[in-house]
Amino acid sequence: MNKQSLARWAIFASALLTYFFLAILLAGEAYTSVGVLLLILVIWFLIYKLRYKSLGNLELAMKIYADFTGALERIKERVAVDEARRRAEESRKIQVLMERERRKADRLKEASAADKEYAEIIERRVREAKANQDRTEDPNQTKS
């Protein structure tokens, strides 16, 4: 590990430790969170200053801004892709549910049609049985 990367890690670790200690000691105070944010921005600026020594302060600030906006754009694109994938999955789930419900309704229609046919068969047999019973009855009993 070279000295420059060691210095970066030291600055990064000290920034995190400073942030956590300030957050622990001064929890609940709004101005401390702003102070910590400014401290992190200063440390970020110093890290960029070490990384790009040849740039002046204005160019360095512009480089930080360009990197920051690029990172935000990548995050937006990733969120948009995730959202599109989530919507597509939700749409597929809805289509699957609708198809399942349609198949269930079709089965119920088929079952009800079969039930109607079965009921008609039963009614016809009952009428035939009644007609047979009427024919076999004694005609004298019906006249009395």
Q: What is the pLDDT of residue 87?
A: 94
Contact yes or no for 6/50 (Cβ under 8 A): no
Mean pLDDT confidence for 83-89: 93
Residue 66 corresponds to which tokens in the numbers above?
A: 């360009």
Chain center to CA of 111? 37
Q: What is the pLDDT of residue 28?
A: 61
- Going by C-alpha positions, the residue among 24, 22, 27, 49 that lies closest to residue 37 is 22
Mean pLDDT confidence for 51-55: 74
Identify the band that residue 86 occupies on the pLDDT scale cut at 50, 70 and 90.
very high
Identify the band that residue 43 occupies on the pLDDT scale cut at 50, 70 and 90.
confident
Query: What is the tens place of the pLDDT at every residue in 95-138?
Result: 999 998 888 888 777 777 777 888 888 889 888 888 888 888 75
Q: What is the pLDDT of residue 84?
A: 93
Number of Cβ atoms within 10 Å of the Cβ of 63: 14
State how far the Cα of 30 lies from the Cα of 87, in Å rounded to an integer.
38
Mean pLDDT confidence for 76-103: 92
Q: What is the pLDDT of residue 133?
A: 83
Whether 40 has a pLDDT exceeding 60, the answer reads yes
